[in-house]
Amino acid sequence: MSYVHERLSSARYDRASARRADTDWIDDRWADPATRVIVMAGTRIRPVDGAIAWVSPAEAPAGARLMLGIRDGVAHFAVVTPEQSATDAWLPLRSLLPDLSAEEAPLILHAVGLAEWLRATRFCARCGLPLDPVKEGHELLCGNGHTTFPRTDPAVIMLITHGEPGAVDERCLLGRHPHWPAGRFSTLAGFCEPGESLEDAVRREVREETGVEVADVTYFGNQPWPLPASLMLGFTGVAATTDIVCDVDEIEEAGWFTRAELRAGAASGELVLPGGVSISRSLIEAWYGEALPGSW
């Protein structure tokens, strides 16, 4: 099976990082009418007929220019305009993810990640002076010469199972956030803390959120997730205990589901699972063995 998190993680273009300070090369690419530009307001993207619209540099408005890279010999940029320039028709990343192609997805995630970082990072953490973008938006520089680089926060996301692998009564653990509507469940997730291994982060987050102890932990895959600045690192784990005691601030409800219960709930709509663009969906369907009906 081809899982969606691999589609979103695939490096299908050259980021051309060595060219970001080459102003002559950048100017030549920007003057080329074949160059493609995505227009953003803050982190929202301007659509045309409900789809992402790539325009030429001549059609792009003024704004912060971000050089994304080269795909199939064509340069791709983003232009970020002020947040207030967006109308209700401009779409956030979550609304666009279901329709992203394999070619577009890495470029859009790159653009949104940088735009979110520029929006949130205004002043130097070392001296407090304002920051200005350099190297086509991939670094920020203050008046004292301090350089700030984009941040990526490692987050673990995991499917925990219990029972004989492949057995009819094998179950997986899913939870529901307090702000989600009834019936919406997903895999557990959380951020890695300083000095902590990823495997220990899996065990700690599951224990904190549900009271379940986890033994073996196995790496599954990863997915960039610039909402706002995460790298989702997927794992599977085997439960050592099954009693559930939820941390109600984090997880309002959690439960164990067999494959038959997943199928029946998803088919009826009583159980609403993550969308197909999420590594969470990939974790669930990899364990289930095939695609499941329904999505968020």
Shared domain for 82 and 45, answered yes or no, is yes
Asked if residue 233 is part of any domain, the answer here is yes
Residue for token digits 């700030």? 148
Shared domain for 160 and 279, answered yes or no, is yes
What's the full length of the chain, in residues? 296
Total domains present in the chain: 3
pLDDT of 285 reads 94
Domain that holds residue 103: 4-120
- The pTM for the full model equals 0.84
278 burial type by CB count under 10 A (0-12 exposed, 13-18 middle, 19+ buried) = buried
Residue for token digits 């951020």? 191
Shared domain for 282 and 158, answered yes or no, is yes
pLDDT of 278 reads 83
Shared domain for 259 and 135, answered yes or no, is no
CATH number, domain of 45, equals 3.90.79.20
What span, in angstroms and rounded, lies between the C-alpha atoms of 122 and 104? 28
pLDDT of 10 reads 53
Asked if residue 71 is part of any domain, the answer here is yes
Q: Which two tokens stand for residue 157?
A: 């996301």
Shared domain for 145 and 164, answered yes or no, is no
Backbone φ and ψ for 185, nearest 5 degrees, come out as: -130, 155
Shared domain for 134 and 213, answered yes or no, is no
CATH number, domain of 173, equals 3.90.79.10
What span, in angstroms and rounded, lies between the C-alpha atoms of 174 and 180? 13
250 burial type by CB count under 10 A (0-12 exposed, 13-18 middle, 19+ buried) = middle
Evaluate the omega torsion of the peptide bond into residue 226 and state whether it is cis, within 30 degrees of 0: no
**Inter-residue contact 39 to 111 (CB < 8 Å):** no
pLDDT of 23 reads 95
Shared domain for 133 and 210, answered yes or no, is no
Asked if residue 296 is part of any domain, the answer here is no
Asked if residue 56 is part of any domain, the answer here is yes
What span, in angstroms and rounded, lies between the C-alpha atoms of 292 and 271? 11
- CA distances in angstroms from 121 to 8, 39, 138, listed in the order given: 25, 20, 12
Of 275, 88, 56, nearest to 184 by C-alpha is 275
pLDDT of 275 reads 78
Asked if residue 116 is part of any domain, the answer here is yes
Asked if residue 295 is part of any domain, the answer here is no
Asked if residue 293 is part of any domain, the answer here is no
70: number of Cβ within 10 Å:
16
User: What does pLDDT average to in each consecutive run of 10 residues of the chain (296 residues)?
Assistant: 48 88 97 97 84 91 95 96 88 79 85 93 96 96 97 96 96 95 94 96 98 98 89 97 95 96 94 85 94 78
Shared domain for 37 and 144, answered yes or no, is no
Shared domain for 284 and 159, answered yes or no, is yes
Asked if residue 294 is part of any domain, the answer here is no
Of 261, 278, 210, nearest to 239 by C-alpha is 210
pLDDT of 239 reads 98
Shared domain for 162 and 94, answered yes or no, is no
Shared domain for 104 and 144, answered yes or no, is no
pLDDT of 129 reads 98
Which secondary-structure segment (H or E) carries 122?
none
Shared domain for 142 and 160, answered yes or no, is no
